[in-house]
Chain A
Amino acid sequence: MTSSSPLTLTRRTLFGAAAACAALAAIGRGRKASAAQALLNVSYDPTRELYADINRAFAAQWASTHGGSALAVRTSNGGSGAQARSVLEGSPADVVTLGLAYDVDMLAAHGLLATNWQTRLPHNSTPFTSTIVFLTRKGNPKGIHGWADLVRDGVQVVTPNPKTSGGARWNYLAAWGWALRQPGGTEDTARAYLKSLFAHVPVLDAGARGATNSFVQRGLGDVLLAWEDEALLAARDLGPDKFDIVVPDLTILAEPPVALVDKNVDAHGTREAAQAYLEFLYTPEAQKIGAKHYFRPVDPTAAAESASIFPAVKTFDIASLGGWTAVQKKHFASSGVFDQIYSK
């Protein structure tokens, strides 16, 4: 081998490196410039299939009203709390569609959106509601019919980590609210009930989808505490012959809100598109898509049409427990009730 060919090789490598860096910088700039034609929806865990459909429908509608111009909506999914924190850390979300209002409040507290965000859209900015139900193995072999059955010996309960997951906080609060409402129920008995409940939890996944995977695919546990939509998806689509849904006698009304992230839409120049996207969620078309994915529509017509999909439930709401700010501080903050009952 002569020394000239490797010489050119290394030179080429270095020039290539320089060119690559330049190209990379160009791509980075290109991304920023094209951000106006794309929206980012940072969402909680079980909405993957819902927003995939809604994004497609919205893009079609946007194209028809805007002379064919394309608008891509991307969705990122994860535990609601973890997702809110990634927005706080700099994830460029144009809209957030999270599992519970507190996570959006936290963003508002850090100045990412107006503190009155919940009044800016109908129904407290909640286009779909849901609730918490149980998913059991087919035939319900452990005979689980209500909250009291979860803490029986030999029952394993799968629920995600309330520190990172929105669904897990609803699960926890549904259990708390039920325990408070039992005859002779006090905060002490509710606390004792939750302590014993979490002693039956073998795995704490970061998000609702991870918990569903643990239960459905890994075969862990006897009962999954789940969003109604996630449970119906698993029971009807993933394994109709494998799971049963159990509706407890009392559960919580879950209201996952949506909001525009003011700071980011102004930086990206996407306010109009983001606002249109959120309003689209309340249209009959999107409400129907929601029902198809087992999210309860708030629109009365769509709700009536899809009534047969959803089991009848008796619910209480978060306001009856004092509202999210109080609940978060009392239960889920560092050294709150959850930390106390979960520490070994």
Chain B
Amino acid sequence: MDISTQTTDAPPPTPQPGIAEQKRNARGATRAGDRVFLGLSRGSGILLLVIMAAIAVFLTYRAALAISRDHGNFLTTFEWNTNVIPPTFGVAVLAFGTIVSSIIAMAIAVPIAVAIALFITHYAPRRMAGPVAYVIDLLAAVPSIVYGLWGALVLVPHMTGLFGWLDDFFGWTGIFSWDGGAPRSMLTVGILLAIMILPVITNVSREVFRQVPQMHEEAALALGATRWEVVRMAVLPFGRSGVISASMLGLGRALGETMAVATVLSPDFDIHASLLNPGGGTFAQNIASKFSEATADGRDALIASGLVLFVITLLVNGAARIIIQRRAEYSGANA
């Protein structure tokens, strides 16, 4: 009896004066607090947009200064001579090197990354899939400068065998001719970049392959398809746009990678047909290696080349995101 009265009876409400006034205060406080909090959080969002805009504006401003002083043609000159007056420089070699190294990286990384994503989602024994995904995440966590150091001191010496073999059998193409120099070339850079972008492509592709409707796969299996036929007819078609955007995210990474290229490549300012002989350069690598010796004008020139890199990565990433978003809407309609 005692207990029940204790638990059921609420303490008598103490009469408080001016309830209406209190309510008004509470509402006022609510509004003020909400307004401040909304302002702060919306402000942060707007700040992010402002930063993006500021990056574009400031880079363009310094780049315009540099290009107006450029004695050569900014797009076609094969020279980077910024510490003399008048300076002469152009980004043709850098654009070529950046694109070539990224293409090599993509050609190696995309098939392997897709295969690993398939391995994790469809092939690996269930107990193994988790640890494998974890190992791939570890690959992503290693800082790029450590990749660079490893590439320069471990990967480069190991490339001589492969380079000799490529030269023996494919040297006649010109692309794979090698005159025996240190293998600090575009191909080595491309291989190192491939290792670095592998986790990016794998992780996104993995997520897409996970979303393949179970029904599609089971239907294929019920019709007697082998596992490979299931993958080819149900998984890959569903995941195609996801793999494309994953590859473009990886491409964005490869285009902007700085330190790994700066440590491995032995650069020069020319375009070479051979991927095996040292030479060439990329936007990011050129900025990192020329920066310490650059004068004020030279730094503006480097900023100008950075602007080109910024625009390229912006386009690549933007396109990748748009593809992903379109796909998300599509799969949302499906579910």
- Judge: A and B partners, yes or no: no
Q: Which residues of A contact B (CB under 8 A)?
A: none
Q: Which residues of B contact A (CB under 8 A)?
A: none
